[in-house]
A and B are shown apart, each in its own frame.
Chain A
Amino acid sequence: MIPDGSSFYGKDQKSVSVGRGTRKRDEDSGTEVAEGADEWAQSKATVRPPDQLELTDAELKEEFTRILTANNPHAPQNIVRYSFKEGTYKLIGFVDQLAVHFSQVGNLIPKDSDEGRRQRYRNNLVTGSEESAKLVISEAEVVEEEDEPKEAEAGSQTDVPAAEAAEKVAEELMTPKQPKERKLTNKFNFSERASQTFNNPLRDRECQMEPPPRTNFSATANQWEIYDAYVEELEKQEKTKEKEKAKTPVAKKMGKMAMRKMTSMESQSDDITKVTQAAKIVERMVNQNTYDDVAQDFKYYEDAADEYRDQEGTLLPLWKFQNDKAKRLAVTALCWNPKYNDLFAVGHGSYDFMKQSRGMLLLYSMKNPSFPEYIFSSESGIMCLDMHMDHPYLVVVGHYDGNVAIYNLKKPHSQPSFRSSAKSGKHTDPVWQVKWQKDDMDNNLNFFSVSSDGRIVSWTLVKSELVHTDVIKLKVEGSTTESLEGLQLYTVGCGTAFDFHKEIDYMFLVGTEEGKIYKCSKSYSSQFLDTYDAHNMAVDAVSWNPYHTKVFMSCSSDWTVKIWDHTIKTPMFIYDLNSAVGDVAWAPYSSTVFAAVTTNGKTHVFDLSINKYEAICNQPVVAKKKNKITHVQFNPIHPIIIVGDDRGHVTCLKLSPNLRKMPKEKKGQEVQKGPAVEIAKLDKLLNLVREVKTKI
């Protein structure tokens, strides 16, 4: 646009200078003429401002020299400084003429400084790879350029894959290089690298089956459960041991059969049978509740009035045992069980010759007064019974028809286990008394029986059969007569009672219907050891004293009770009781106490140490007057007696303290208890009597 300056200045030098001069002058005016307006200038005339100085030509030609100096116009020219040396202000000649128009802090670092070196190092690292990449890229580019003309059409396509390839190659090159170079673990140098892969699509696959059947199970682990488990284990072990011992396969089979039968039976039975035990217990509980006061009396009641009654005692009625089935049968026998003190046996039958019917054996427990524990019935009336000392489950019974039978309480049968019969030598008349003996030498059970047919028979249980042996025949003395052909006929006495001596085994007493008492021995079968003319009527009972070996007692329907010393033919004591005496029994706790029952319903208790001549207790026990008491028995442990009557009732009575008196304690001396004391007591009494007698 601007024309060539040389030409411009050449031409218009003057004009320019003028222009400059004018310009100098017109510094204030400010209007300028464009230097490039050369073409116009010709057309244009120089314009003069109206207020321009008018100068003469001479003045116009005057030259003014102007010198450009490098002096800073803003710099002060008269700086004065105080000089301490001279103590005056001095003018400074040199003034700094430097004027800073623009300053900027740059970021250039010298190469050799620390920072510079560091940066160079870093750059080398990067640039090294970059350079190589650049090299590759440049090679690729070269390749590209070469390929381009060849594959111009697919250029765009190859570009991308080639670039990708290049990148990949670059990356590949870079990645192997990186582990070679030492990685700087500077946190400032952290670079994150991520890549995303292609995710596989997820799919749920399920399968459902039938759930297994579930039951809830809970158990406790107590000490007793553990104990039970151990006990079971022990039992199993013992069983296996037993099985090993019994090796015979037959036995095993039998065992199995039995087991099967058992299980089938159990499953058949309506499960009610398993409640038997519990039912029994509950029945007793219920009875206890009903007869609560009676039970309390039995245990704890002691008649306080006895202190005031010096020589008298009373009998407190406790329970009454009766059964519908045995209502019309008289009580013919009573016996306490030697092992279980609350269990006693009652034999029912009839004393009436005309009215003979069936018989019953009932066993009651005091814990259950309303129903017997065991019931056995028989065709013929039971006249007597006895329980074995060592086997308390064996009860021997004598019948009115002369048979004897043994009942086993352990077995549930209502029939006797063993029974005598006409073939096996039963009695021909009622059996009045049976008594167990000690086992014989072959350990067979053995008992004696006495009957009206005059025979005393010893029965032995040999291999589940009753074998009898006639021990003695009760011949009436003086009745043996000789008959034809030298046979000796004799009248046979009827035995009604017997008792065996406690200590002298072979000796026993037999009472007869004629009123005589024979002392016999088991070994001598033909002769009696002794004979006592005891009573005028039939002897109902004989009994040895439990303590004193010499003393025995007898009672009879002739209203008397007599006490004997077996060495002396005449009785020591005679008691008349105003009525036929049914039974007598010694007390187990004292040698001087005994009880007698009469047919007028009274019970008499005697204590010889207190009153030698009279009963200390004389009490009607049975309600109705026509009720005859038939038997009495003392309980071996508890202070009670049972009394049976002919209506089939058994009443249990408690003895008051006066009836159970023990010898008084003397101060300073120990109380001696035991048989010796009792014997001594009785001896004293006997001696008194004997003295009297001898005197007489």
Chain B
Amino acid sequence: MAEVEETLKRIQTHKGVIGTMVVNAEGIPIRTTLDNSTTVQYAGLLHQLTMKARSTVRDIDPQNDLTFLRIRSKKHEIMVAPDKEYLLIVIQNPCE
């Protein structure tokens, strides 16, 4: 258990990372390092998007599954790693 905590901590302190959050299967944030309103917004929107993406991938080939989702925008990059029950979202500024 401590390992995961450590990993999350490392991710959070990594260069360029703005925030991390853990969202459960219903779109409710469990852990977050950002403020409440932002978290809720991110959680809701990304949850839907991930469901859609996963549905797309699996529709094409049911034996396939979504590993991760990367959304690169002008300002930063949002990375979503879906799990069976959880969603891990990390927002990073990949300073270039």
Contacts and interface: CB of A to CB of B under 8 A. Distances in A.
B81 A272 contact: no
State the majority secondary structure of interface residues on A.
Answer: helix
Interface residues of B, number: 39
A227 interface: yes
A290 interface: yes
Interface string A268-293: 01111111111111110111011010
B26 interface: no
A278 B10 contact: no
B10 A223 contact: no
Interface residues of A, number: 30
B86 A223 contact: no
A227 B61 CA distance: 10
Interface string B13-48: 011110010101000001100000000000000000
Contacts of B87: 278
A432 interface: no
Nearest to B64: A224
A579 interface: no
Interface in A96-117: none
Contacts of B20: 282
A371 B22 contact: no
Contact of B7 (A280, A285, A292): A280
A275 B7 CA distance: 10
A186 interface: no
B77 to A, nearest CB: 6
A265 to B, nearest CB: 10
Contacts of A269: 1
B14 A278 contact: no
Contact of B22 (A227, A275, A281, A370): A275
Contact of A276 (B3, B30, B68, B90): B3
Contacts of B90: 282, 285-286
A282 B59 CA distance: 24
Given A227-B62, A227-B63, A279-B4, A286 B86 contact: no
A273 B4 CA distance: 6
B86 A270 contact: no
Contact of A286 (B4, B17, B96): B17
Given A271-B30, A282-B79, 18 more contacts: A224-B58, A224-B62, A227-B58, A228-B62, A276-B7, A277-B83, A278-B87, A279-B8, A279-B88, A282-B11, A282-B81, A282-B88, A282-B90, A283-B7, A286-B92, A290-B14, A290-B16, A290-B94
Interface of A: 220, 222-224, 226-228, 269-283, 285-287, 289-290, 292, 370-371
